Amino acid sequence: MNKRDATSGPSDVQQITLRGPAELADALPYLMGFHPNDSVVMVALHGGRGRFGGRLRLGIPQDPGEWAPVADQLAQSLIEGSEQRDARPDAIVVFLCQDPVEGESASQAMERLRPLAQRLRRACGALDVPVLEALCISDGRYWSYCCPDPRCCPAEGNPLALPGTTVMAAAAAYAGVQVRGSLRDMEARLLPWESAAAQEQERALDSAGAVLVSRILDVDGRGEVAGETLRVARDLMERLGSAPVAAPAETDRADDGLITSGEAAAVILGLQDRETRDRAAEWMEGREADTALRLWRALARRCVGPYVEHAAAPLTLAGWVSWSSGDEAAARVALGLALRADPDYTFAQLLHQACNQGLDPETLRRCLRGERVMRDGRRDDSAPGPEGVRRTERRSGPRPARAAAGRRRSAGTHRRAPGASSRPGSSAGRGHARDRRSLGQRGARSRE
């Protein structure tokens, strides 16, 4: 067993010292805010006592052929992000969390994932940052890939501590930190419908797309669609906000019942325009933030069938509002799903990078407040044009259409790992400055 300490929290707040694999495994849900099933989690450690720093999470790639490039990307992302935020890590802790598949034992799942743990250790070592500990958590048990001593790390693994009985649990309860179920539970609130209602929603998206695409490609029509999208979204937020308060478990179902298929289709397609989406991102504080978050979640659930990639816009807005409201765990989940829906969605890439690096969302909030103030000032000065018309100082014409992007990508295609941080100034950052639009087979979409 590795006896080196790891300390949670910076030096100016209460510190909890964790010793060994058992306490590290027990601390993971509190570090993330949820139980990260089917995930690779990497946590940076700083200083002689191993203070926890930046962390990132990625779904475990199903194809082992992707493990080597993904390991390299994750190691580089965590180390570079830590350097930009604080300092280069002195060590890294790796967690592989996955329950056994059908017909597999937990021990067999651990052995199946061992090559991934080795890839991650080599990738970090190649960048001169050692992996202090690599743990597998599966079916309520944990194993250390770094400890060869069967007296403390037997082949059958060790059971996780009972919930709420560890020093980390006591400290988290004292600090008001909550663990909100598993990652799977949090993602379920944002995933597309699979019920019979999904067919009705798909038909509504088809019908709305047939009308809106031609209007969006027209200079004047695009401004009109933007204004209509924002007005419908505002109406829906007011409707959600005025509804009777439901129990948390019933909130999503109640919200779904307050939005018609046609209304959802109009807003989903309208949000594919980047500037319309940016206007919607201004609903980020106070009561607006609460109702906007409920709306973006509801719209993400309506991106069904061939419209799954359209979910990138509402999911990114849900992630932004969560981050702006101080809920980093929910933000990471929403932004991770946005990148799963569309790995090239630049706004999600940039927000996920900033959230992972622990940046302050107030910088972006100030920019969006300034946009609103400037726009309101122009309107007070009787500036011409309807609400939602394009901002000429940012772009003088509609973005060109490019090839359809609605088709599924090959799993073997090399990309930046979805959900991993990207370095400022990389191709992702430069891409945000370009005006790009993809015109899908069933509706217009912006990749920004």
**Residue 16's pLDDT is what?**
62
Q: Is the dihedral of CA 431, 79, 55, 84 positive or negative?
A: negative
Question: Is 448 exposed, middle or buried, given 0-12, 13-18 or 19+ CB atoms closer than 10 A?
Answer: buried
| pLDDT score at 248 | 67
Task: Indicate if the pLDDT at residue 415 is higher than 80.
Answer: no
The answer to which of 74-78, 280-284, 354-358, 363-367 has the lowest mean pLDDT is 354-358
| DSSP SS3 for 278 | helix
Per the structure block, which two tokens stand in for 113?
């994932």
How many of the other CB atoms lie within 10 Å of CB of 103? 6
Residue 220 pLDDT: 82
What is the average per-residue pLDDT within 231-243?
95
pLDDT tens-digit profile of 149-188?
888 889 999 998 766 556 666 566 555 566 677 888 899 9
DSSP for residue 35: B
Q: Which two tokens stand for residue 329?
A: 């765990």
pTM for the complete prediction?
Answer: 0.68
Nearest CA to 189 out of 179, 181, 197, 177 is that of 181
Residue 134: strand pairing partners: 94
Domains and CATH numbers, the chain: 5-160 (3.40.140.10), 189-445 (no CATH)
Q: Compute and round to an integer the Cα radius of gyration of the chain.
A: 23
Residue with tokens 């329950």: 99
* Least confident piece of the model among 267-281, 327-341, 375-389: 375-389
Nearest-5° angle of CA 284, CA 259, CA 407?
Answer: 80
Instruction: Tell me the mean pLDDT in the region 434-440.
Output: 34
**Do the bridges between strand 91-97 and strand 141-144 make them parallel or antiparallel, or are there none, so unpaired?**
unpaired
pLDDT of residue 435: 34
pLDDT tops 70 at residue 378: no
> How large a percentage of the chain has pLDDT more than 90?
52
pLDDT, mean over the chain: 80
pLDDT higher than 50, residue 201: yes
Q: Which two tokens stand for residue 64?
A: 């082992």
Position 394 scores a pLDDT of 37
Least confident of 94-108, 229-243, 264-278, 344-358: 344-358
**Dist. CA 359–CA 338, nearest whole Å:** 20
Give the confidence band of 324 by pLDDT, cuts at 50, 70, 90: very high
How large is the average pLDDT for residues 384-403? 34
| CA trace torsion 338, 410, 74, 145 (10° rounding) | 120
249 is written with which tokens?
């478990």
Q: Are 96 and 40 in contact (CB under 8 A)?
A: yes
pLDDT score for 79: 94
Could you report how far apart the first and last alpha carbons of the chain are, in Å?
A: 47
Q: What is the per-residue pLDDT across 99-147, written as a single tens digit (0 to 9) for each?
A: 999 999 999 999 999 999 999 999 999 999 999 999 999 999 999 999 8
With a CB cutoff of 8 Å and minimum separation 6, the contacts of 253 are 246
pLDDT at 33 (0 to 100): 82
Higher pLDDT, 372 or 9: 372
The tens digit of pLDDT for each residue in 287-306 reads 899 999 999 999 999 999 99
Q: Are 237 and 295 in contact (CB under 8 A)?
A: yes
State the pLDDT at residue 299: 98
| C-alpha to C-alpha distance for 130 and 122, rounded to whole angstroms | 9
List the structure tokens of 17: 């010292």
Mean pLDDT score, 314-341: 94
280 contact partners, CB below 8 Å, separation of at least 6: 230, 233, 271, 292, 317
Cβ distance 401 to 440 under 8 Å? Answer: no
Contact 200, 261 (CB under 8 A): yes
Structural contact between residues 237 and 291, judged by C-beta atoms closer than 8 angstroms: yes
At residue 41 the predicted structure's pLDDT band, cuts being 50, 70 and 90, is: very high
Residue 210, Cβ neighbours under 10 Å: how many? 11
Q: Is it the case that residue 271 has pLDDT exceeding 90? A: yes
Tell me how far CA of residue 374 lies from CA of 4, 13, 411, in angstroms: 54, 40, 44
Q: Mean pLDDT check: name the lowest of 11-15, 310-314, 340-344, 382-386.
A: 382-386
> Residue 258 class from Cβ within 10 Å (0-12 exposed, 13-18 middle, 19+ buried)?
middle
How far, in whole angstroms, is CA 16 from its chain's centroid? 28
What's the CA gap between 77 and 133, in Å, rounded? 19
What confidence tier does 419 reach under pLDDT thresholds 50, 70, 90? very low
In contact, 97 and 137? CB cutoff 8 Å: yes
Q: pLDDT tens digits, residue range 358-369? A: 788 999 999 999
